[in-house]
């Protein structure tokens, strides 16, 4: 099993889907205390973290687009430490990006330097010490600073201050200590205060530590639980916490799917609609779920949403002049009944119960199904005009074979509950003139329509565990965990339940857990659970 799945798997409930390939839960899942703290994995900054870090290193500057080739996301998240290594093109792009940033720094040096350039080498050395301490996320020893100072002095002597500033900045921004999170640790193999600061900031903010975190690290104020909790509270109240939340949430919910679909323009589809659907999801997640301290229940059941001029029609509502928060009609609740999700899981001319069902199974229930077997034609033929079928009937026919049914008997019933919403997410009561059957099931639980499903999901222990697993997978950057880490999983799961399913509460629970921070093997006082 790939190691990044371990955490999600450890919180999954083992169920058996006879005949369907796939990973459903972890047969080795056992609860228990944590063992020794594992060695930290080297983590290259994800592209999101890289761009955010550059932004915060030079807050007064703006930069042209920094092109970076997409990283693999084998487990759905772009910060998988196993997958983030150097590739030829990426190293070249790091060089290009460093060149662009450094050029801007030199051009606008008065906005960046902590001193007057007229001071020459003295100012250059001060800049180097200041920049490296932030870029490398810890202060440097004199011996580490020396090569940069020598480099600066060489180019200062050969050319001028600007050239020396630019070239030295380029080198710093291509250094391993900047591009990778390299932890120094303590002699007893725990995280150092600076390691803790970075673990907090890259999880909660998806960027580098701020001055206050650095200061706390420097004065050894990141040692006990109260100090950590106070920092987490402060950070969660900072606008950058939304970056951290959205970086996770967009990937968990695969909101980028909307970029890969097309619909007929004759039905009103356009690039503006695509952008508006992105905004719809972002507004719901940021305003209603995050900023209001939302819970998993709010995510699934809230009757609040945002509509814009380009999306109102999908809800059968008059178009507002600008984005407006609304109370949804009674037939809709939560993220899964909004246009963004329903459109993103639809083909041009018909909704896809398979995509909708798979989304719920994989992203909310952590049921990992295998891929279709070799040689299967997965296209869905248009029904013959002489014998109209509903979309559901068509999918049932296409997947009727026993081989298909080994998986589709699980997938289809989960997706069929959304059939009363077309491929744009518009409500419909008939399909090709025929009545729609929105019944479905999961295991032995049956539903009629999405409201039933949502009620099931919101009270499902499996869903709660799955969401915890997803967040932990993201938080740890896919770092390998074993049964030794079970206390982290157990504690966060218990905290999540105790908080009523608060997503921001889960952020704090993870961020402050000594196992996550690497400051102790486990919590000194178990909270909500097992020793």
Partner 1 sequence: MTLRRRRFLQAAGLGAGSLLLPSLSGRRSVNAGPVAGAVPRIVFCFAEHGVVRENWAMPRGNPDAGRWDYDLAAVPDAEFSQSLAPLAPFKDNLIVIDGLSIATGIGDPYGDGHAKGWNAALTGAIARETIEDVKSNASKPSLDQVLGKALRAQDPLLTDLVTQEFGIYQYNFHALLFGEPSPGAPVARLPHLEQPKGAYDRMFPNGDGNTPPDPRRVAQPDVLAQVAGMYDSIQGRLSAEDRKKLTQHRDLVRDMEARLRRLGGLSCAQPPAIKDYYWGQVPHWQRWVDHQKSFWDLTTVALSCGMSRVVSMQWGQVPVEECGGTGDLHEAYAHRSDPSHSTDPNYALAKTVMTNYSRKYYGFVAQLAATLRDIPEANGSLLDNTMIVILSDIANGNHAHEPWPVVIVGGKNFLRSGRYFHMEKETLTTSTASWVNDNTKIGYPHNHVLVALQQAMGVNVNFVGQPSIQPKKTSAPAIDLTGPMPGLLR
Interacting positions 195-234 with partner 1 (CB under 8 A) = none
Interacting residue with partner 1 among 14, 31, 116, 159 (CB under 8 A): 159
**Nearest 5°: phi and psi at 224?**
-105, 170
Single out the segment in contact with partner 1 by CB under 8 A; choices: 40-48, 51-59, 207-215, 280-288.
Answer: 40-48
Contact flag: residue 349 with partner 1 (CB under 8 A): yes
Contact flag: residue 176 with partner 1 (CB under 8 A): yes
Query: Of 386-425, which residues contact partner 1 (CB under 8 A)?
Result: 403
CA–CA separation, 327 and 339 (whole Å):
14
Single out the segment in contact with partner 1 by CB under 8 A; choices: 82-90, 114-122, 315-323, 391-399.
Answer: 82-90
Contact flag: residue 263 with partner 1 (CB under 8 A): yes
Contact flag: residue 527 with partner 1 (CB under 8 A): no
Minimal distance in Å, beta carbon 371 to partner 1?
Answer: 5
CA–CA separation, 471 and 499 (whole Å):
16
Residue whose entry in the numeric block shows the structure tokens 């967040």: 471
Neighbour-count burial for 190-221, b at 16+ CB within 10 Å, e otherwise: bbbbbbbbbbbbbbbbbbbbbeebbebbeeeb
Interacting residue with partner 1 among 373, 388, 443, 500 (CB under 8 A): 373
Minimal distance in Å, beta carbon 290 to partner 1?
Answer: 28
If DSSP codes are grouped into helix, strand and coil, which group holds residue 229? helix
For residues 159 and 292, which CB has a smaller minimum distance to partner 1 in the complex? 159
- 22-24 and 304-307: which strand pairing? unpaired
In 3-state terms the chain splits into helix, strand, coil percentages (rounded to 5) of 50, 5, 40
Close Cβ partners of 1 (under 8 Å, ≥ 6 residues apart): 9, 23, 26
Residue 462 burial by CB count (10 A; 0-12/13-18/19+): exposed, middle or buried?
A: buried
Q: Cβ distance 485 to 493 under 8 Å?
A: no
For residues 2 and 230, which CB has a smaller minimum distance to partner 1 in the complex? 2
Minimal distance in Å, beta carbon 372 to partner 1?
Answer: 6
Interacting residue with partner 1 among 18, 187, 239, 381 (CB under 8 A): 381
Contact flag: residue 41 with partner 1 (CB under 8 A): yes
Minimal distance in Å, beta carbon 493 to partner 1?
Answer: 23
Contact flag: residue 42 with partner 1 (CB under 8 A): yes
Query: Of 46-75, which residues contact partner 1 (CB under 8 A)?
Result: 65, 67, 69-70, 72, 74-75
CA–CA separation, 42 and 185 (whole Å):
12
Minimal distance in Å, beta carbon 389 to partner 1?
Answer: 14
**Nearest 5°: phi and psi at 441?**
-160, 160
Contact flag: residue 155 with partner 1 (CB under 8 A): yes
DSSP 150-204: HHHHHHHHHS-HHHHHHHHHHHHHTSHHHHEE-----TTS---HHHHHHHHHHHH
Q: What string of H, E and C letters represents the secondary structure of 312-377?
A: HHHHCCCCCCCCEEEECCCCCCCHHHCHHHHHHCECCCCECHHHHHHHHHHHHCCEEECCCCCCCC
- Taking each continuous run of H as one helix and of E as one strand, the counts in the chain are 22, 10
Single out the segment in contact with partner 1 by CB under 8 A; choices: 126-134, 228-236, 264-272, 467-475.
Answer: 264-272
Minimal distance in Å, beta carbon 395 to partner 1?
Answer: 14
For residues 51 and 75, which CB has a smaller minimum distance to partner 1 in the complex? 75
- Residue 44 CA: distances (Å) to CA of 47, 156, 327, 487, 510: 9, 32, 43, 26, 21
Interacting residue with partner 1 among 211, 322, 384, 429 (CB under 8 A): 384
Question: In DSSP terms, which residues pair with 368 in a beta bridge?
Answer: 23
CA–CA separation, 473 and 481 (whole Å):
10
Minimal distance in Å, beta carbon 71 to partner 1?
Answer: 8
If DSSP codes are grouped into helix, strand and coil, which group holds residue 470? helix
Single out the segment in contact with partner 1 by CB under 8 A; choices: 87-95, 295-303, 442-450, 488-496.
Answer: 87-95
Single out the segment in contact with partner 1 by CB under 8 A; choices: 258-266, 288-296, 404-412, 437-445.
Answer: 258-266
Interacting residue with partner 1 among 49, 104, 183, 310 (CB under 8 A): 183
Minimal distance in Å, beta carbon 260 to partner 1?
Answer: 7
Contact flag: residue 161 with partner 1 (CB under 8 A): no
Single out the segment in contact with partner 1 by CB under 8 A; choices: 241-249, 376-384, 412-420, 446-454.
Answer: 376-384
Interacting residue with partner 1 among 265, 397, 430, 445 (CB under 8 A): 265
Task: Show the CA angle centred on residue 529, arms to residues 185 and 456, nearest 5°.
Answer: 110
Contact flag: residue 372 with partner 1 (CB under 8 A): yes
Total of chain residues touching partner 1, rule CB under 8 A = 80
Q: What mask, x for binding partner 1 by CB under 8 A, covers residues 93 to 132?
A: x-xx------------------------------------
Single out the segment in contact with partner 1 by CB under 8 A; choices: 18-26, 289-297, 331-339, 484-492.
Answer: 18-26
């Amino acid at each position: 099993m790939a190691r990044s799945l371990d955490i999600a798997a450890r919180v999954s409930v083992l169920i058996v889907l006879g005949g369907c390939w796939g990973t459903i839960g972890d047969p080795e899942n056992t609860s228990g205390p944590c063992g020794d703290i594992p060695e930290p994995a080297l983590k290259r900054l994800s592209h999101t973290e890289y761009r955010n870090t550059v932004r915060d290193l030079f807050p007064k500057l703006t930069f042209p687009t920094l092109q970076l080739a997409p990283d693999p996301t084998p487990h759905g998240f772009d910060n998988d430490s196993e997958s983030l290594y150097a590739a030829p093109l990426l190293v070249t792009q790091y060089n290009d990006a460093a060149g662009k940033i450094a050029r801007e720094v030199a051009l606008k040096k008065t906005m960046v330097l902590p001193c007057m350039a007229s001071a020459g080498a003295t100012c250059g050395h001060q800049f180097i010490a200041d920049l490296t301490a932030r870029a490398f996320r810890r202060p440097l020893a004199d011996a580490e600073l020396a090569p940069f100072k020598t480099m600066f002095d060489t180019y200062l002597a050969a050319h001028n201050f600007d050239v020396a500033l630019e070239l030295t900045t380029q080198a710093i921004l291509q250094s391993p200590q900047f591009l990778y999170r390299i932890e120094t640790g303590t002699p007893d193999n725990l995280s150092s205060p600076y390691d803790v600061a970075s673990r907090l900031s890259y999880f909660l903010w998806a960027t580098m530590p701020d001055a206050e975190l650095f200061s706390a690290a420097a004065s050894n104020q990141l040692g006990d639980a109260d100090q950590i909790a106070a920092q987490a509270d402060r950070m969660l109240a900072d606008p950058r916490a939304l970056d951290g939340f959205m970086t996770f949430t967009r990937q968990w919910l695969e909101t980028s799917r909307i970029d890969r679909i097309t619909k007929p323009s004759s039905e009103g589809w356009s690039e503006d609609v695509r952008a508006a659907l992105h905004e719809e999801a972002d507004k719901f997640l940021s305003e209603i779920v995050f900023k209001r301290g939302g819970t998993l229940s709010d995510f699934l059941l809230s009757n609040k949403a945002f509509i814009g001029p380009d999306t109102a029609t999908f809800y059968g509502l008059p178009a507002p002049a600008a984005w407006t928060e609304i109370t949804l009609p009674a037939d809709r609740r939560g993220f899964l009944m909004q246009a963004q999700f329903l459109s993103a899981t639809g083909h041009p001319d018909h909704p896809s119960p398979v995509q909708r069902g798979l989304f719920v199974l994989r992203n909310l229930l952590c049921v990992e199904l295998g891929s279709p077997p070799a040689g299967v034609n997965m296209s869905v033929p248009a029904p013959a005009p002489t014998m109209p079928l509903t979309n559901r009937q068509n999918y049932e026919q296409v997947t009727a074979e026993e081989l298909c049914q080994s998986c589709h008997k699980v997938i289809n019933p989960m997706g069929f509950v959304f059939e009363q919403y077309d491929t744009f997410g518009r409500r419909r009561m008939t399909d090709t003139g025929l009545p729609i059957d929105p019944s479905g099931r999961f295991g032995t639980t049956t539903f009629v329509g999405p409201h039933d499903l949502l009620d099931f999901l919101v009270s499902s222990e499996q869903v709660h565990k799955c969401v915890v697993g997803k967040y932990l997978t993201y938080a740890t950057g896919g770092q390998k965990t074993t049964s030794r880490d079970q206390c982290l999983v157990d504690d966060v799961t218990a905290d999540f339940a105790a908080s009523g399913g608060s997503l921001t509460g889960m952020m704090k629970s993870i961020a402050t857990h000594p196992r996550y921070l690497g400051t102790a093997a486990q919590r000194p006082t178990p909270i909500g659970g097992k020793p």
